[in-house]
Chains A and B, each alone.
Chain A
Amino acid sequence: MADTRSFSPTMRAVLFALISILVLIWLVPLVVAFITSFRTNEDILTNGFLALPETISLQSFADAWSRGNLDIYLPNSFIITIPSLFGTLALSSLAAYALARFKFKGRLAFYFLFVGGTMLPFQILLLPVFRLSDALGIYDTYSAVIAIHIAFQLGFCTFVLRNYMMTVPIQLMESAVLDGASELRIWWSIMIPLTVPAFAAVATLEFTWIFNDYLWALILIRSSGKMPVTTGLAILQGQYVQDWTVIISGALMATIPTLFVFVFLQRYFIAGLTLGSSK
């Protein structure tokens, strides 16, 4: 534990001032984005960014939403994220159960396969997955992106869930075996309920990661009608090259779902990061 309490009052005042300045700097981009989105481009160009806004306008939000097609991109993000999330959680809980519950040949090897895979640079997978999706006839469909998200995120989810499941007392499962319960039943009615905290943490983190993915959508989806909001914003940027108010309003709208995570699920998000970094 850091013990700032042993610092002198002056020292603590200095520390407080330093941290406050840092926080202010950290907030600048967010504040600027917020202000920009309510102004008009003409106003910023003629009066400069620091001038008081002439008018407060929601026009750039409306432009980004309908003419910038965020009304298509944003729902697409959910269409991709939700099945990916459920798929990867379901499959990784099976794998994690096997790795935590049983002693068998190759147990550690499978574990390393999942852990090692989470750290791969994505580029080593791009071309083969692009080719595989093409061969399966799912290139340029939601399924292509969903499949790679489910598969790739298996590594991290299995890692975290397995370590959490290792802490569940083995007696609970042994006594269920004596009562004649099948392993599938033990997985579903004993292990899963006891692992809810880890699921909440992993799910929050994974929702944010998958929702924010840009690379896989860029590689696997070409039609703008199927793009999630990340690659959609890149299109918007090209469409409104010099109209920053529309681009920034679009960016802010794209952030609303993860903002929800930030406000309501921050605890789980942080728990996920910590679980994922400790053994």
Chain B
Amino acid sequence: MNKAKLRTTLTPYLFLAVPVIIYMIWVIGPMFYSFYLSLTKWDGFSAPQFIGLANFRRLITDPVFYTSLWNNLEWIAVFMTIPIVMGLFIAMSLNRDIPGSKFFKACFFAPMVLSLVVSGLVWSWLYNPGSGLINTVLRQVGLGDLARGWLSEPEVVMEAVITVAVWRQVGYVMVLYLAGLQSIDRNLIDASHVDGANAVQRFFNVILPQLAPVTVVVIVISIIDSLRAFDLVSVMTRGGPFNSSSVLANYMYIQAFNNYRMGYGAAISVVLFMISAAFIVFYLTRIVREETNG
């Protein structure tokens, strides 16, 4: 290979070198190191001690693990339905000439720029049992029986936290669908008018199929975000009362950084990773198909 040829072959690798090395050290490497840590007993101070699959054996008999897993599944189930239906409904409604649609869009979008910490604090105040808005209003309108400790009663706490997540998520889904609606083929819609389809038929047979690629992205994002859920739980309940609002990400944090059971925490994170990996692989294979088809 001559010198000029060598230079052109090396160029892309030179551009990639620094970013890839940093990515390997802080992201990809740590991921594998967590797998190793999940097979150890480690308190964070002394050296990790290899104990095989003991952490995982303990995990499958840990009731809090199941509560957390169940709560993550509930989070996914809610995210796959309410924000998607609402986001699509709002996008469809605001995509046309409704007066003030720009203002409406901004209102749904606003919660997204707030940090989860701020959202969690504001909602904790709304949920405050004594003087928070929700109970105050319920008592004022004679529904005082419904007033309760929204964040202190195990029966409602998870739903109360997920509500805040939904409040933020709807705007996100709306934005993605609004973009998707821009690229819908006008001719097909006109043709459906000619064929005498009504609005409902048009929605299910013409519009929804064309939005399918957006819907796939929305579903993947919803699942990944549900599995990442941490900030709201950490700020609003710390997983309580009695672990009833624990999610896997929070349980991992509590075990590793509050109880110093770092090996056990790593095992929880590996389970979390395994669930996410299924969806990451699904998403990547879609991209492979698109890339190879040009």
Contacts and interface: CB of A to CB of B under 8 A. Distances in A.
Interface of A: 1-7, 12, 15-16, 18-20, 22-23, 26-30, 32-33, 36, 44-45, 48-50, 91-92, 94-95, 97-99, 101-102, 104, 107-108, 110-117, 119-129, 131-132, 147-148, 150-152, 154-155, 158, 183, 187, 208, 211-212, 214-215, 218-219, 230, 233-234, 237, 244, 247-248, 251-252, 254-255, 258-259, 261-262, 266, 269-270, 273-274, 277-279
A49 B131 contact: yes
Q: Which 5 A-B pairs have the closest CB atoms?
A: A151-B26, A128-B30, A212-B115, A98-B15, A102-B12
Interface of A is mostly: helix
Interface of B: 9, 11-13, 15-16, 18-20, 22-23, 25-31, 33-34, 37, 86, 90-99, 104, 106-111, 113-119, 121-123, 125-126, 128, 130-133, 136-137, 140, 167, 170, 172, 175-176, 179, 181-182, 184, 186, 189, 193, 199, 202, 207, 214, 217-218, 220-221, 224, 227-228, 230-231, 234-235, 248-249, 252-253, 256-257, 262, 265-266, 268-270, 272-273, 276, 279-280, 283-284, 287-288, 290-291
A19 B96 contact: no
B19 A274 contact: no
B270 to A, nearest CB: 7
Contact of B30 (A102, A125, A273): A125
B276 to A, nearest CB: 5
A117 to B, nearest CB: 5
Nearest to B256: A127
State the main secondary structure of chain B at its contact with A: helix
Contacts of B91: 2
B193 to A, nearest CB: 7
Contacts of A20: 104
A53 B8 CA distance: 71
Contacts of B266: 127
B235 A124 contact: no
A261 B113 contact: yes
